[in-house]
Amino acid sequence: MDIFVLLATMFGCFVIGMPIAYALALAAIAGALWIGIPLEAVMLQISNGVSKVAMLTIPFFVLAGAIMAEGGMARRLVAFADVLVGFTRVRGGLSVVNVVATTFLSGISGSAVADTSAIGSVMIPQMEQSGFPRVFATNVTISASVQALLVPPSHNAVIYSLATGGTISIISLFMAGVVPGLLLGFAIIVLCLVIAYRDGHPRGKTVPLADAVKISINALWGLVTLVIILGGILAGVFTAIEAGAVACVWAFCVTMFVYRDYRWRDLPALIHRTMRTVAMVLTLIACASSVGYIMALTQMPAKITAFFLSISTDKYVILLLINAMLLLLGCLVDMAPSILIATPILLPVMLKLGVDPVHFGMIMLLNLGIGLCHPPVGAILFVGCAVGEVTIEQVLRRIWPFLRRDVRGADAGDLSAGDLALAAASAGAVAIVRLQYPLSDAASRLNL
């Protein structure tokens, strides 16, 4: 009954349209009153939820990504990707350019929505002018933007780390996301090439050498941000927080003093938008911390673990069920609250089955990210449709090949980027993760 009161209050508030942060806080209060816990304890958990030093990672990377995405970096990355792909003169070259440019920007912005808006505003009109269907260009942009949820500096990887109580290293999550993110991009490229040859899309064009050198130099300033984030962390020069701060300063200097495409009078509005985004995320984290506290007191994680183990003791069966559940959850609830709600419930199940928590983090991020490409929540879908000036119905009729593959009788057009990326999360990332994050230490760090 304790769990029922907590969940009924939470989902009841969701149904009536209450903001998710307030719904979580109200559910925690209802649960506390039901089990006889003083409300002061709930307030303390809300305060403690945002008092961690690791929280500084979020505003730094959000601001750095916003500056680079709005300061002309997207256009230069598209041009640089065109240089890299153009010399091959491959059919459907601009769709490949779209994916490669998104991969570069994902490693800078850490936000799928920002990537969709920045790359889409440049690539979708350009692809249409070259003879690509506008809906296809929009679908490529939407699907490729999911990479930002996996590769560093993914904001959602930071949220997952915080949802575990900070026991999972942000750096481990960043490094584990590189392989699945790149394989997701590769899978989408393969699909784009298959569709291009099937539908006769135009070939790419070679960029003249003089222009290629100029474009590469212009893009190099922004690509240094990738070196700062990945190189600095891997070399042990920076922590994740310090890398975010340095990337923020570098992004500001490059945008305002090198590229000089962004006006100084627009900077306060950008900072204001960043502060609003960070405030929303931190409010969600604070309220979710109180819900996690009540869940622990009601022993919900242990009961959920027992429920799944009563269905099957085979971890692959449980993983299949959880994958399906996360896909559904991602379609119904935005990504940040989904992570904050599902992690305290499902992570103990994964640890009981012997699944590495960093590996599970990649699985969760990818599944919930695919949900962002579907209504009714579908933030990436809605932004992509707005930028591409197409209807949601048009996109949904054509996006399925990017997200699934028929098990039997699949033709070339049904190759699934989502399936290949799930395989990447299951096979590629875990090899790296186990070297950095031994499974035997996971349970002890989480006191399970």
pLDDT at 403: 66
Which residue in the block uniquely carries the two structure tokens 């212009």?
218
CB-facing half-sphere around the CA of 191: CA atoms within 13 A:
32
Structure tokens at 366: 């990818």
State the 10-residue block means of pLDDT for the chain, 448 residues long.
Answer: 78 81 84 83 80 78 78 78 78 84 82 81 83 87 88 85 82 86 88 85 79 82 78 77 83 82 82 83 81 78 78 83 84 80 84 87 88 77 83 79 44 41 41 40 37
Do 285 and 58 meet the contact criterion of CB atoms below 8 Å apart? no
Q: Record the pTM.
A: 0.76
DSSP state string for 264-326: GGGHHHHHHHHHHHHHHHHHHHHHHHHHHHHHHHTTHHHHHHHHHHHH-S-HHHHHHHHHHHH
pLDDT at 46: 81
Rg (CA), the chain: 22
Q: 343 CB contacts (<8 Å, ≥6 apart)?
A: 160, 163, 164, 364
Beta bridge partners of 45: none
Tell me how many helices (H) and strands (E) the chain has. 22, 0
Length of the chain: 448
Q: Long-range contacts for 392-400 (Cβ within 8 Å, ≥24 apart)?
A: 394/135, 395/135, 395/138, 395/139, 395/142, 397/135, 398/135, 398/136, 398/139, 399/139, 399/142, 399/143, 399/373
Rounded Cα distance between 61 and 414, Å, is 36
pLDDT at 97: 86
pLDDT at 29: 87
**Burial, 227: exposed, middle or buried (Cβ in 10 Å; 0-12, 13-18, 19+)?**
middle
Q: How many CB atoms lie within 10 A of CB 407?
A: 7
Rounded Cα distance between 162 and 281, Å, is 11
Rounded Cα distance between 446 and 351, Å, is 9
Q: 26 CB contacts (<8 Å, ≥6 apart)?
A: 9, 10, 13, 18
CB-facing half-sphere around the CA of 110: CA atoms within 13 A:
28
Angle CA(373)–CA(377)–CA(381) in degrees, nearest 5?
A: 35
pLDDT at 438: 42
pLDDT at 420: 44
DSSP state for residue 203 in the 8-state scheme: B
> How many distinct structural domains can be found in the chain?
1
pLDDT at 111: 79
Q: 44 CB contacts (<8 Å, ≥6 apart)?
A: none
Q: Is 1 helix (H, G, I), strand (E, B) or coil?
A: coil
Which strand (E) or helix (H) includes residue 360? helix 357-371
Rounded Cα distance between 109 and 30, Å, is 38
For the stretch 23-53, pLDDT in tens is: 888 888 888 888 888 888 888 888 877 777 7
Give how far the C-alpha of residue 447 lies from the chain's centroid of Cα atoms, to the nearest Å: 28
Q: How many CB atoms lie within 10 A of CB 247?
A: 28
Do 78 and 123 meet the contact criterion of CB atoms below 8 Å apart? yes
- The CA distances from residue 295 to 5, 253, 332, in Å, are 11, 45, 21
pLDDT at 175: 85
Range of the domain at 69: 2-445
